[in-house]
Amino acid sequence: MTMRPKIIQIIFGLMVSFIFGQTQPYQGGSGDGFALGSIPITTLTNTELSVLYRGGSEDGFAFETLDITTLNNTDLSVLYQGGSGDGFTHNSIDVTTLTNTDLAILYQGGSGDGFAYNVIDITTLTNTDLGALFKGGSGDGFATLTADPIVLDDFPRIKLAIKVILQGAALNPNEGENNLMRDDLRLNNLLPTTSPYGDGISCEASVFNTGGTDGTGSTTDDIVDWIFVELRQSNNASTIVTSKSALLQRDGDVVDIDGVSPLVIPYEPGDYYVTVKHRNHLGVMTANSTSLSQVTRNANFQNNGFNTFGSNARVQLGNGKMALWYGDVNGNGSSKFSGANNDSNRIKDRILSDPFNILGLLTFSSSGYLNEDVDLNGTVRFSGAQNDTNLIKDNVLSHPNNVLGLSTFTIIEQIPNN
């Protein structure tokens, strides 16, 4: 007889569950990957909410609740608190108010496997993109979710696809590579990871690997040297508004410091002149200012039909392509074989001051990443076979403006001075 009331109670409970169960909202599982719970019906007439959300410790047994939160709270001490997945510890985020300048953690949560959790780095408005807006475990110990990257298109930037050739690196090309520059500096591990142009930009050493960082890229994209790009005012070409170091590939592409991407300059879009410079070559500038923005703009200084500022600003190579004149080893904006402040003497001084040239021989060869290395082969010679001094003389004597063939003629960089 004692069993009948209990059976009636069970039947009544099942009927109530059937009638009212579908009005219950969702409450997360206890973290064991199998169970989930429910919370009582919540309506606008509720006087309080006893649970906002607080994840389980992932041990499959316990979960916690937050204290009642109303509009009268002065702050929230926890935006999200979740377990690391080990069933014992959890992490919290410090008080966050509108006066915070950044958020060190947007979301931190366990992957559900009991070992790992993920942290998102500090994110500010200067970030160019967000790799993940959400990353968290599904609670079953196996799967995670990620959001696709979001690019913030409203930060000012200019994207350029520049092509340029250095005359020095184009001399004596490798067999079968007449349209490629040599990359002797890279092959001899002489390229520095920090730009020589003083803006402090650096790249990873792996960018100088054959085939790029992962070693699978085309060898035509291997790095020759650092290059320097300037933007100048459209109404005053002698005024530089911004500049950035970049890298030069063997096929002439000027790329960003990852060694493959088009160059991005963080500056306001607008009309600008574009100049390209190198540490021992004479720079060039576009003949006219052009509209630049986040839409990639081409500037092909290799092309004979591409107009540049000034007269004979580039030298024509045997394959018909245009290149920057080599020979400005002292960085004064000119190339000079003889006479006052000539570049030949700079080469001689380098040789005589080399600490390994203990006999002071003019035929000594210096090695390294040196501005006096006109042909960019990693070696400097003042006299003797294949010396750098004669290279400067050859350019001076063959320059179209040197109609008298004077060895004292000076090749002047065709870029307006400040």
**Which pLDDT band holds residue 417 (cuts at 50, 70, 90)?**
confident
Beta strands in 188-280 (DSSP E): 223-233, 236-249, 253-255, 263-265, 270-278
Contacts of 204 (CB under 8 A, 6+ apart): 193, 213, 258
- In the three-class reduction of DSSP (H, G, I as helix; E, B as strand; rest coil), residue 238 is classed as strand
Among 114-118, 195-199, 231-235, the minimum mean pLDDT is found in 114-118
For position 114, what pLDDT does the model report?
47
Q: 226 φ, ψ to 5°?
A: -80, 150
**Which pLDDT band holds residue 67 (cuts at 50, 70, 90)?**
low
Report how far residue 131's alpha carbon sits from residue 118's, in angstroms, rounded to the nearest whole number: 13
Is the model more confident about 173 or about 122? Answer: 173
Report how far residue 263's alpha carbon sits from residue 244's, in angstroms, rounded to the nearest whole number: 9
Q: What is the 8-class DSSP label of residue 22?
A: G
Angle CA 233–236–240, to nearest 5? 45
- The string of pLDDT tens digits covering residues 172-190 is 999 989 899 999 999 999 9
Q: What is the mean pLDDT of residues 60-70?
A: 51
For position 138, what pLDDT does the model report?
54
Instruction: Look at the alpha carbons of 43, 49, 53, 54 in this order and tell me if their dihedral is positive or negative.
Output: negative
Q: What is the DSSP secondary-structure string of 142-197?
A: S-EEEPPPEE-TTS--EEEEEE--BHHHHSSPPTT-TTS---HHHHTT---SB-TT
Report how far residue 154's alpha carbon sits from residue 309's, in angstroms, rounded to the nearest whole number: 32
For position 135, what pLDDT does the model report?
46
**Which pLDDT band holds residue 75 (cuts at 50, 70, 90)?**
very low
Evaluate if residue 142 carries a pLDDT over 90. Answer: no
What percent of the chain has a predicted confidence (pLDDT) above 70?
63
Evaluate if residue 218 carries a pLDDT over 60. Answer: yes
**Which pLDDT band holds residue 49 (cuts at 50, 70, 90)?**
very low
Q: What is the pTM of this model?
A: 0.66
**Cβ 118 vs Cβ 111: under 8 Å:** yes
**Which pLDDT band holds residue 196 (cuts at 50, 70, 90)?**
very high
Evaluate if residue 361 carries a pLDDT over 50. Answer: yes
Among 25-29, 199-203, 257-261, 272-276, the minimum mean pLDDT is found in 25-29
